Amino acid sequence: MEVEDDFQSDDEQYMTITDDPAGNIPTIKLSQEIKARIRKPWRRSLITKLIGADFSVNRIIPRLNGIWRPKGKIETIDLTNGFFTVKFSVEDDYRKALEQGPWFLGTNYLSVQTWTSNFNPHVRSISSMAVWIRLNSLPLEYFDREILTMVGK
């Protein structure tokens, strides 16, 4: 990619475009101000993944509205590989979805994490999650922190 000689010096503080040494891939470098501006709209967004099911955006939106009951609007974007970004218009709705889980859609666990820049759904995996274990008919004396911690590990 060619960069014209009359590229304004004022513009250079925001964005520069240079050629890759190999010659085919241009590199665009953004200033911290530009990065902050383009990331700001995503500050009330979550990255979610439904474990054990594959839902389209059209199927997941009503289910998210059902479990979270947001006061404001939510927008959902399919990131591929089972990941979705959910953007909230109201801070309280965002906090509720992030902090008041765990969340399930039917019997499937909904992994919820804060939005991060440069998220790549093709290289990201879920490394840990909250699980619910039902111990039917466990005698009462075994409901002890130490015993239950051993079972959980």
The correct CATH number of 42-114 out of 3.30.310.50, 3.30.70.330, 3.40.50.720, 3.20.19.10 is: 3.30.70.330
pLDDT tens digits, 140-150? 888 888 988 88
pTM over 0.85: no
Whether the predicted pLDDT of 152 surpasses 80: no
Of 79, 75, 99, 97, residue with least CA distance to 87? 75
Whether the predicted pLDDT of 4 surpasses 70: no
pLDDT tens digits, 104-116? 998 888 999 999 9
Q: Which residues contact 71 (CB under 8 A, 6 or more apart)?
A: 90, 92, 93
- Determine how β-strand 45-50 pairs with β-strand 108-114: antiparallel
pLDDT band at 7 (very low <50, low <70, confident <90, very high): very low
Q: Where are the beta strands (DSSP E) in the chain?
A: 15-19, 26-30, 45-50, 74-80, 83-88, 103-105, 108-114
Q: Which residues contact 119 (CB under 8 A, 6 or more apart)?
A: 47, 79, 83
pLDDT band at 6 (very low <50, low <70, confident <90, very high): very low
